[in-house]
Chains A and B, each alone.
Chain A
Amino acid sequence: KAGVTQTPRYLIKTRGQQVTLSCSPISGHRSVSWYQQTPGQGLQFLFEYFSETQRNKGNFPGRFSGRQFSNSRSEMNVSTLELGDSALYLCASTGQGYEQYFGPGTRLTVT
């Protein structure tokens, strides 16, 4: 079974721009969660989607949004990028017993 895939792997954007990241979960998994990882804050939960509905949301501003498609693939969007949005963005799909499987991440650099 293929693992969780994320595209692109690296992105460089300028302040004020917007960005869209993509995540394909493991086949058969219907839940996708997104996390932001920074050296200072560690791993922080952004949101979770299940069957195309946002089921859970972390404490991030409205500039961070997401969606899930009928094939369970998910995208997250960050609008009006700030320098502090530079981070590794990880997505995870949920398997048996709520075990989480993570993708390789997208490294976003905002200049």
Chain B
Amino acid sequence: EIVLTQSPGTLSLSPGERATLSCRASQSVSSSYLAWYQQKPGQAPRLLIYGASFRATGIPDRFSGSGSGTDFTLTISRLEPEDLAVYYCQQYSGSPRTFGQGTKVEIK
């Protein structure tokens, strides 16, 4: 099973700042089958990024993903108040699929 470790646990930033979230895998994620989800309070997760760097339909271009192998990053270029959420990475290259423990983004 591939274990995903996200850092930091919590990120507290002001609107307009850049947020950088990390996801590290215990073994290589083949084909860059790494996704990022956003979960707002009381809502289901929403797919933001798939294939490590491809934005899902309707996702603003301030969200971007990068990385390969075992190290991946989600960047929010200019934080907006509605970006308050927990962000999860998921690998879908191995079975079972696994999620990271999440990074909470707080808006100052």
Whether A associates with B in a native complex is no
Interface residues of B (CB under 8 A from A): none
